[in-house]
């Protein structure tokens, strides 16, 4: 008798057989890798089975379907739960051009390569590697934060694209979460925002399993989660046993009937449920079960003890007849509807195509402002707001907001029809995140993976609160936009608590993040052009509170040089004696020092370097033309930590910057105290030339 026949011969119901297949695939993958978390997939297998097989509107044959329901595994350590579902549901892989292939996203060989180098099944789900994974999760709380952005996106898309009789958007967002997700502050922020916005298309399934990595959850967590979420404005329901498929189905039906608020389903489960030792098992502590425990657990399930990676006869067929057939039929109905929609509203259909492929509409860069030379100038937050408003009028799906600082960040979209996104007005393009930087960052990422071009803004110092979201945007290779103003000690009287010092160096250290710190209003225009065209990298746009001179581009090089990350702004001709490198508000200091040096017969060059990352993408010849290797007298000037500037100034160079936290005083006093003056730059240039 073959292994699959042995399983069927036990008389188990097909549903139980499918659930135990999910469990044993997770057990076997973790055991083979000798690494991972089998317990959560074992406990949550019935919940996921019920959702996917009975309720999820999802077509495994096309995971790019615009109106698919979204499933987020926020407790990403349970990744094998998702990989097993992707495999059993036969979700297809999508190539780098967005074309759906016949290949499975997670074939069996990838299950067997769990947590191995180059596999599609890493230790936590990564959306850019594996089709069917909506967003990269791992740091707890990020997934539920993303789900709020996805739910906002669903509401916004429905409000902006649906037409009477042609409702092409009505998808729901489901997020599986754990005690850890709800302990993390970002989870509370995200839930609060979702409740305020009455996101009725959002459902969180809370795995209430009484266990954390350290041990029993009650060592550190004893709050009444249900009462908390009622206070947030959520509908709360409870399933007392994760194995009760009937009660689970009733909970999902309750979610579907709830039209005025998000839903939390509290599911009481046991980590490693079904294991003979249950919570005493290694599964509770994020470790493989061990060979003996694996055999005991499989025996408990009525499973062949020595069978590995077994998918019994009938399991795949059952999923094909469930989610496969239902998803195919729903998608086909939607495709017919969308074909009619495309005939009646071709412009909107084309807009959706551009959104899905991260393309820009024709004329996206028309009517962008240009700024005349002005020694008094304008703060880059001001010019940034003007450019943003022009771009947003050209790109109808560019939306966003601030963490309660829109008037300071200058990120309010003010043109006619922009509107406010609220529960009653979901077509609005101004999002109000409140004082919730963590949730804002995660929500922006959720909006981006839903096809909307979104930005979030706050003071640069508070980028620290958003760092996990920025990092995950870079890891996911998605073009999230993070706007940061008040970028230096130029904040003045607010003092060190609000004055960023190390943030520039810190963000520049992050792979695949484009950091842009433009030096005047026209560089801001060029920076926004770069950001608009990004498809696989997030951007951090770093802007000033204080006014900066708008440089005379008839005298100095055009700001279009920003496109190469760094460019020669001013040059005395020939090989320079010294190179001054500046960014942001310090660029004008370099220009002033250049003029003084030239007047003294020194051949100086000013290099504007708004983006080190883009400069590093240029070829060697261009980089040499900007920073000739035989010119070793170099000075960097930036009102921030000097960490990293040695890459461009070298051992003989000088770095004018901050070497401590700032101070609380008027800006003019701070500049003098910390020596951000043209005379200081001149002195450092001379020191660099003399080798002192």
* Catalytic site positions: 437
* Residue in this structure with the two tokens 């370099």, named with its chain if needed: 590
- 262: how many CB neighbours lie within 10 A of its CB? 28
Alpha-carbon gap, residue 361 to 338, rounded angstroms? 20
Alpha-carbon gap, residue 211 to 75, rounded angstroms? 13
Nearest C-alpha neighbor of 226 from the set 246, 244, 247, 204: 204
Q: How far is CA 209 from the centre of its chain?
A: 28
Residues with Cβ within 8 Å of 348's Cβ and at least 6 positions away in sequence, in order, are 161, 341
Alpha-carbon gap, residue 692 to 687, rounded angstroms? 5
* Residue in this structure with the two tokens 């083979």, named with its chain if needed: 32
Hey, which residues does 550 pair with through a beta bridge?
Answer: 374
CA 483, 397, 526, 648 dihedral sign is positive
Hey, which residues does 654 pair with through a beta bridge?
Answer: 635
Nearest C-alpha neighbor of 183 from the set 214, 152, 153: 214
Check if the beta carbon of residue 357 is closer than 8 Å to that of residue 96. no
* Residue in this structure with the two tokens 């037409």, named with its chain if needed: 163
Alpha-carbon gap, residue 10 to 326, rounded angstroms? 29
Alpha helices in 89-237 (DSSP H): 108-112, 142-161, 179-183, 185-196, 225-232
Q: What angle is formed at CA 354 by the lines to CA 349 and CA 355, rounded to 5 degrees?
A: 95
The alpha-carbon radius of gyration of the chain (Å, integer) is 28
DSSP state of 457: E
Nearest C-alpha neighbor of 638 from the set 581, 571, 579: 581
């Amino acid at each position: 008798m073959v292994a699959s026949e042995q399983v069927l011969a036990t008389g188990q119901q097909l549903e139980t057989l499918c659930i135990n297949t999910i469990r044993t695939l997770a057990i076997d993958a973790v055991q083979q890798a000798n690494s991972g978390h089998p317990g959560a997939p074992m406990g949550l297998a019935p919940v996921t089975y019920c959702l996917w097989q009975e309720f999820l509107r999802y077509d495994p044959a096309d995971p790019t379907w615009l109106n698919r329901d979204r499933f987020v595994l926020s407790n990403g350590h349970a990744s094998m739960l998702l990989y097993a579902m992707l495999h059993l549901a036969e979700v297809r892989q999508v190539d780098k051009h967005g074309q759906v292939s016949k290949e499975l996203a997670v074939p069996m060989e990838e299950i067997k390569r769990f947590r191995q180098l180059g596999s599609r099944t890493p230790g936590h789900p990564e959306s850019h590697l594996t089709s069917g994974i909506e967003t990269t999760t791992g740091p707890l709380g990020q997934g539920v934060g993303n789900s709020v952005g996805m739910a906002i996106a669903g509401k916004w898309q429905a409000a902006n694209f649906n037409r009477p009789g042609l409702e092409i958007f009505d998808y729901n967002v489901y997020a599986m979460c754990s005690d850890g997700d709800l302990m993390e502050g970002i989870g509370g922020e995200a839930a609060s925002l979702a409740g305020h916005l009455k996101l009725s298309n959002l459902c969180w399934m809370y795995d209430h399993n009484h266990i954390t990595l350290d041990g029993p959850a009650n060592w550190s967590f004893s709050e009444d989660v249900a009462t908390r979420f009622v206070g947030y404005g959520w509908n709360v329901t409870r399933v007392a046993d994760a194995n009760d498929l009937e009660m689970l189905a009733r909970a999902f039906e309750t979610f579907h009937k709830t039209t005025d608020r998000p839903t939390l389903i509290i599911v009481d489960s046991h980590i490693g449920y079904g294991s003979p030792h249950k919570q005493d098992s290694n599964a509770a502590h994020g470790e493989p079960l061990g060979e003996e425990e694996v055999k005991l657990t499989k025996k408990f399930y009525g499973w062949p003890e020595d069978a590995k990676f077994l998918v019994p006869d009938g399991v795949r067929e059952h999923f094909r007849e469930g989610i496969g057939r239902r998803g195919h039929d729903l998608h086909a109905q939607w495709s017919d509807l969308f074909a009619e929609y495309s005939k009646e509203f071709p412009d909107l259909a084309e807009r959706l195509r551009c959104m899905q492929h991260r393309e820009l509409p024709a004329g996206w860069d028309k009517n962008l402002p240009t700024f005349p030379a002005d020694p008094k100038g304008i703060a880059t937050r001001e010019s940034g707001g003007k450019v943003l408003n022009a771009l947003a009028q050209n790109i109808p799906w560019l939306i966003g907001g601030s963490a309660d600082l829109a008037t300071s960040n200058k990120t309010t979209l003010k043109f006619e029809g922009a509107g406010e996104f609220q529960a009653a007005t979901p077509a609005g393009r101004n999002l109000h995140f409140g004082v919730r930087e963590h949730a804002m960052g995660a929500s922006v990422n959720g909006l981006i993976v839903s096809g909307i071009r979104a930005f979030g803004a706050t003071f640069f110092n508070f980028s620290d609160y958003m760092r996990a979201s920025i990092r995950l945007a870079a890891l996911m290779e998605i073009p999230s936009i993070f706007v940061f103003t008040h970028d230096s000690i130029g904040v003045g009287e607010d003092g060190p608590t609000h004055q960023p010092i190390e943030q520039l160096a810190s963000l520049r250290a992050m792979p695949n993040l484009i950091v842009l710190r433009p030096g005047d209003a026209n560089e801001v225009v060029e920076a926004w052009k770069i950001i608009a065209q990004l498809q696989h990298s997030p951007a951090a746009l770093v802007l000033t509170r204080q006014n900066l001179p708008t440089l005379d581009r008839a005298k100095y090089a055009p700001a279009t040089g920003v496109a190469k990350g760094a460019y020669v702004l001013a040059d005395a001709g020939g090989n320079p004696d010294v190179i001054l490198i500046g960014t942001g508000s310090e660029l004008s200091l370099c220009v002033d020092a250049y003029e003084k040096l030239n007047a003294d017969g020194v051949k100086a060059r000013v290099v504007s370097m708004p983006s080190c990352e883009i400069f590093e993408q240029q070829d060697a010849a261009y980089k040499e033309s900007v920073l000739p290797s035989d010119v070793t007298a170099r000075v960097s000037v930036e009102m921030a930590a000097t960490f990293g500037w040695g890459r461009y100034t070298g051992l003989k160079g000088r770095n004018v910057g901050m070497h401590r936290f700032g101070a609380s005083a008027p800006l003019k006093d701070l500049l003098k105290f910390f020596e951000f003056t043209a005379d200081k730059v001149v002195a450092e240039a001379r020191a660099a030339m003399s080798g002192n």
